Chain A
Amino acid sequence: GQQLNQSPQSMFIQEGEDVSMNCTSSSIFNTWLWYKQDPGEGPVLLIALYKAGELTSNGRLTAQFGITRKDSFLNISASIPSDVGIYFCAGSRAGGSQGNLIFGKGTKLSVKP
């Protein structure tokens, strides 16, 4: 089935560093979403993007909807220990059924204090 390529798979960083991760697809998407999942819990929505070129911030998090509509990135500035978790991108394809989302495989973030 349709896949989103999310990279990197994992990151090990020092507290205070900035983080960048991205998702790409061969298909056009009309919605991009970024979620964070803590161990044993459901994913929590961080940022939603609906327009090509849109740049949206949520505190230290910034995400952009790529101009080509085939990619998106998430940046985290000045990371802190509670940023640890798995970050998922998700997209809704143009013409996709009932708004079903396609998920990336996640980026596991580890932050060293």
Chain B
Amino acid sequence: SQTIHQWPATLVQPVGSPLSLECTVEGTSNPNLYWYRQAAGRGLQLLFYSVGIGQISSEVPQNLSASRPQDRQFILSSKKLLLSDSGFYLCAWSTQSRQPQHFGDGTRLSIL
């Protein structure tokens, strides 16, 4: 069966520091991969999605970037974090268009 892993589960970072969040999927090949951010008590905002290695689409202009160095690995990065980058970051995967997305357990990011 397929599984998705995100780490770390929680992270506290100072303003201006770099960021790297990892997401890996097991049990499937060539998945679509997604990064979302969820502000407290709010809905999910799509940040990036990827349909293949090295293919990244950005949904909103921001201080973050994403990379897909391997088929089942998706990384969310920043060179310099802002206070506004705080939130709950979720990675998700799906097999293809129109199929449900399945989420990881998320990373709670707090910027001080």
Contact = CB atoms under 8 A, between A and B. Distances in A.
Nearest to A46: B100
Given A40-B106, A99-B94, A48 B43 contact: no
Given A98-B51, A99-B32, A99-B98, A42 B104 contact: yes
B103 A42 contact: yes
B44 interface: yes
Give the interface residue-count category, chain B: 20 to 34
Contacts of B46: 100-101
Give the interface residue-count category, chain A: 20 to 34
Nearest to B103: A42
Interface stretch (A53-61, A65-73, A103-111): A103-111
Contacts of B62: none
Contacts of B97: 92, 98-99
A30 interface: yes
Q: Which of B34, B44, B97, B108 has the most CB of A within 10 A?
A: B44
Contacts of A108: 41
A40 B103 contact: no
